[in-house]
Amino acid sequence: MIFNSIEFGIFFPLVFILYWSLFNRNIKGRNIFLIIVSYIFYGWWDWRFLSLIFVSSLVDYIVGARLFKEKTNRKRKLLLFVSLFVNIGILGFFKYYNFFIESFVEAFSFFGHSPNISTLNIILPVGISFYTFQTLSYTLDIYYKKLEPSKNIFGFFAFVSFFPQLVAGPIERAKHLLPQFDEKKHINYEALRSGLLLMVWGFLKKIVIADRLARFIDAVYVTPDNASGWPVVFAVIFFAFQLYIDFSAYSDIAIGTARTLGFNLSINFNHPYLSSSFSNFWKRWHISLSSWFMDYIYIPLGGNRKGKLATKRNIMIVFLVSGLWHGASWNFVIWGAINGCFLIFLDKILYKINKKNTNHIISSILVSVLWALSLIFFRSSTFNEAITIFSKIGFSNIESLYNYSLGATEFKFTIFLLIFLMIFEIIQERKVDLYQWFISKPTIVRWSVYLILAVLIIMFGSYGIGVNDSNFIYFQF
């Protein structure tokens, strides 16, 4: 089930009413209800893969309890290995089996051998990378003695499967979200109002802006050999915006949905396209994943404590793993390597540029442009397609700009939406609390804005004919 679907439009109001009217009277009953509705939410896509969430939850609940009691280092490492083997094993099989088999065959074919190893017809379970990392953080935190295990099995299962952030994050840490399943909940009008407003804002970003950008991008990428010049330039720029708007929209809806149920999720984006360096960018982009890699890969490898060379090595390892996390393709690995190089080699230059405050705009534009170029590998299906897109970048064929799914009026409207969004983020970046300003306005003003937002989504939403896929981009990861 996806947020921008009729099914969710029926599902969520029913869950909300039942949650607050019938199943919030005791913690155990509420958590069981959340498990059931979360499994329904996920199983709507394919019920067979619910077994993976159940196994992952059960293994880590048992391992976590045993880890906390065990004093022997050898046994503790063995228990951690069990958790890693089960979780990474499941993730590796479903997501990477065919990738490694194909890479193995291609490597041997290069030397004149052709191993007869067949790939399998494997369906990638939605959200497997997200909930696997979430439950792994629980076991790892107990292993490193940063967390005590949950004594509430229903609360833990609800934590792993919590439907607002189950399939595309934020990737929550147990120490932040898990205790919330042991708390008594009372409906809070302020949380309800802010949550619903955040959901509407997310739907607006997804349906009106991101899906409109997708139409132009898809039209260029479907036949990259036939496009060149300005259409390709705009496709590259538009995809950088689409990826951000689409994913942050999901996070907004997830955070808003959870908030209406009395839960607080972590912020996942913090105006990344206003970053003045790549290190700053990765502190603002997909924060829950970036911090996960920092805590569980970068720091255990030694972080920046073992000299400059080791630091660069650790950064590159993190980015290569990050690329592979995003998808079973060498394109994603290349994308990760490129961004690792940006961080290692370009941040020193950007630091010098940023010594003058007036140069922050220049460095922010440079970071955003280089990031957009790296995303060509992220968006392309193959390495050759990415190279083709790079070769087609130029400043010609301006007359064909409106031939790619968006006519002149709609193209200009799209540009207006992007400018509006960036101005909105610049205002927020200057610490202007737009929400507090908004709720301080008279009721008639606030409800007029609600109505306008709803009308905008209905009237200007990009759906129907010409829209190939309305799924959120990060569902594929």
Residue with tokens 């003003």: 445
Please list the residues that pair with 229 across neighbouring strands: 393
CB contact at 8 A, 168 and 247: yes
Q: What DSSP state is assigned to residue 393?
A: B
| Longest CA–CA separation in the chain, Å | 75
Residue with tokens 């073992």: 306
The residues, any chain, with a CB within 8 Å of residue 346's CB and separated by 6 or more, are 278, 370
174: closest CA among 136, 128, 213?
Answer: 136
Q: List strand residue ranges (DSSP E) for 352-437, in order.
A: none
Q: List strand residue ranges (DSSP E) for 67-186, in order.
A: none
Q: What's the CA gap between 25 and 5, in Å, rounded?
A: 30
300: closest CA among 476, 143, 182?
Answer: 143
The residues, any chain, with a CB within 8 Å of residue 395's CB and separated by 6 or more, are 229, 230, 233
288: closest CA among 325, 334, 238, 259?
Answer: 325
In angstroms, what CA-CA distances link 435 with 22, 189, 449?
31, 15, 12
- Is residue 360 part of the annotated active site? The answer reads no
- Distance from the first to the final alpha carbon of the chain: 16
Coil, strand or helix at 147: coil
Q: What's the CA gap between 214 and 374, in Å, rounded?
A: 18
Q: What DSSP state is assigned to residue 47?
A: G
The two three-digit tokens of residue 194, written as one number: 């802010």
Sign, CA dihedral 257-258-262-265, equals: negative
Q: Which of 176, 271, 326, 360 is catalytic?
A: 326
The residue type found at 468 is N
Q: What is the H or E stretch that residue 142 is in?
A: helix 128-143
In angstroms, what CA-CA distances link 67 with 61, 86, 147, 300?
10, 16, 11, 19
Q: Which residues of 315-352 are buried (b: 16+ CB within 10 A; e: fewer)?
A: bbbbbbebbbbbbbbbbbbbbbbbbbbbbbebbeebee
Provide the annotated active-site residues.
326
